Chains A and B, each alone.
Chain A
Amino acid sequence: MSHDREFFALLDAASQGRMSRRDVLKRAVAVGLSVPAISALLAACGSSADSTATTGASSSGGAATSASGGASTASSGSAATSTAGGATTGAASPVPQKGVKGGTINAVIIGEPPTLDLHWTTATIVGFVTWNMYEPLFAWDANYKLIPMLAESHEVSTDQLTHTIKLRQHVPFHNGDEMKSADVLASLKRWATKQGLGKALFDASEKVTAVDDYTIEFKMKNPYGVFESTLGYYYQGPAIYPKSVVDAAGDGQIKEFIGTGPYKFVERQPDRFIKFERFDDYAALPGEPNGYGGHKYAYADQLIFTPVSDEAARIAGLRSGDYHFLESISSDQYDTLKDDAVATADVLPPGGWDTFVLNWKSPLMSNQKIRQAFQMALNHEPIMLAAWGEGYYRLDPSIMQKETIWYSTAGKEHYSPNDPDGAKKLLDEAGYDGTAIRFMTTKEYLNQYNNAVVCKQQLEAAGFKVDLQVYDWATVVDRRSKPDVWDTFTTGISFRPEPTQLAIMQLCNWPGWWCSESSQEILDGLRSESDFDKRFKLMEQLQTNFYTEVPMIKIGDTKDIVARSKKLQGLSQQQQLGPQLWNAWLEK
């Protein structure tokens, strides 16, 4: 109780500028406030430090921002035929030009991937590991536009109903066979049985045929604007396997890991390592690397991925020189690592964003006014500060990251309103009876827990009752699929270069059950429309709906920190979908 009093007294003093940040900090520590509480106080001390907080690290990646119009996802063939020769246009990829060949890159992953069959799972770790050996038909470039990878070209008929993909010739698989249309067709068909977007693509097509060895034709029932982006889907993406591998898999997982990528699979020992070596016959595209496509150098002789679950062990291994790359570290470790003799850390441009998902099927949250009151009560700055720390987040209303061509501020007046009085009024209008919000979070991802704690304080200040329930992550994932046991939960929404691919765009089929006819209609338009300008307008409408219908609260963008050995060079800052290790090298 006395803590609460101290907290609000300090909050008052801080927000009115009667105390400096340092004094607030001293006082707060002296009375023993919790870390999230202290962070909230510091945030209230004024926003002078805040603007620096968000700029500090985003140095290079940001430049890719507004490449505006020319982003046709599935426009005419002309855009698509330019086989990645155009090199990097944005500043996102420092192009490795004089890398050193040889050596073994030891990369650390935070857990064992559930499979190396990319069609099988949405787990990001699988994409991170396997895109070194597999390749898609279309890849995302440095500005998050699509460019052909295994495709040579893509043409759309004038009625928008026939998509013709010409494949590149003389592209060998790791088993020596040449990639042909039969392999592509088998892979895509299998992928479509596992992945929702793939299923939607095949459902929307009348006929899919291999015209000849190097041509595939999709006859669609209706115009399909997301054709290319569907085939460029990254996690659980449509990797092209040999037909023989697909046939041998039956209903289960594939038994052999064979692709066309710059590295080929050598050995996997679960919980110990996964080993790849350079594929010497790799058919590299000419030119330079361009985002996730373009030329791939494959400097290192071998890539080894080691799962290390304990962060202290990961950091120790990096500092002792055993490992070269850690996919993600907590911000606490950044200061230690940035001055280390052997290792260093990079703060990346924002990838995903944090959110509180609201349950449209619960008695409480099915009331739009209560959802809007929830939104209105929140001040996002202290929440993000408590969760991520200064310098590791960005406050931004756009549900598509600034780094993509989809950036928009539509609905921004509803972003972080920080209006507890307005929220109270809305609650009164809604007839809120004081039922506690069942708020699920996890300490497995500490930033989610910290998010929730500060959010709880803010909601309570606006008159909500909150029952914070802390579970392990697997339990949260289990419970969130049961509509009658929760009202809100914390999670992160991972980065997607195309809006229809965001997890939340499953609308009524994703926990939270955003079942809105109006949003569904806009989304359908977004999926069928090919013209970027029209699509962009639709996206803005959808984002406006996001802020008025309130399926969830976007809190803020989060920045990942990756740590690497100083020897590891050539990694692009563009890592929202994962690092491009195939273009990295080890200095001797």
Chain B
Amino acid sequence: MKIPKMSKQFWSDLNWARKHHTELLRKYRNLWVAVVNKKVVGAGDNLGKVEDIAKAKTGKKSIATMFVDGGEHIYGC
């Protein structure tokens, strides 16, 4: 599996989301966010729908997404 060449914007948006996790927590706790141009363009608990909304809004194929984890997710078996 070769690493695809992603746009600079994809990396920049993903890094932006990671860096702004604290701010995103206030509004999007335990939700998925889609980020384009350092702005949240979709949010919700269904990742597929969030991506579809973001793609429809921006026309972009590859969109940075992140789960805005509040630290509660610990799973056992």
Question: Is this pair of chains taken from one and the same complex?
Answer: no
Give me the interface of A with B, judged by CB distance under 8 Å. none
